[in-house]
Structure 1
Amino acid sequence: MRTVERIEKEDITNLKFSKKEVLQDEMERKRRNFELMRAQALGNLLKNKVSITFETADEKIFQVTTTVWAVGSEYVSLKQNLFIPINAILEVD
């Protein structure tokens, strides 16, 4: 199992992301999309934070605790004009 490193959302701008999909299973991708939509609703309605675990281009695993403001077709928008590609997200809690 790989080590998950905690990261502050402001440090996401220093990371590089791959275009590859990190989840190979279709059901896992559907679950991720459901959890992202749920996180968006919680963020907009209640200002709740979620933990997002994601993989970078160099295959390191990071986790950030943040509020999800919007979910697009390719990116998740966070506060302070920060974005994470959806294809890099492993898990949303």
Structure 2
Amino acid sequence: MTIDFEIIEKEKIETLKFPHSEVLEEDSAIKERKNALERALSLGNLEHSKIQIYFEDGVSKKMVETTVWAVTDESVVLKKGVGIPINRILKIELLQIGL
């Protein structure tokens, strides 16, 4: 999936502009994203596990590898308070560690 995605450092995310529209079309995909975010939050808080977040700003598709610190109703909060709007997240992948 990374072929179409620009890899970005989390520190650069705060400079991006995000449209308000939803990037996912199906309710099942939105529910799956919510479940993945809850897992990522638990793993981030308990084990400091990193994940890959695939998202879309107003310009292109991007991917960041990071730890989720918090999830609000509207955004995913990363280290230093950097946020990504949930409605702009296409996919979350948990990284396999120690395999």
Q: TM-score range by the shorter chain?
A: over 0.9
Superposition CA RMSD, Å? 1.3
Secondary structure of 2:30 counterpart:
helix
Gaps of 5+ in 1: none
Distance 1:31 1:81 in 2: 24
Secondary structure of 1:23 counterpart:
coil
Question: Could you tell me the TM-score, scaled by structure 2's length?
Answer: 0.89
Written as runs of structure 1 = structure 2, the 5 A alignment for 1:1-93 is 3-58=4-59, 60-93=60-93
Gaps of 5+ in 2: 94-99
When the two structures are aligned, how many residues end up with a matched partner? 92
More strand, by proportion: 1
Question: Could you tell me the TM-score, scaled by structure 1's length?
Answer: 0.95
Distance 2:27 2:76 in 1: 19
**CA positional deviation for 1:9:** 0.3
Distance 1:5 1:57 in 2: 13
**Letter paired with 2:15:** N
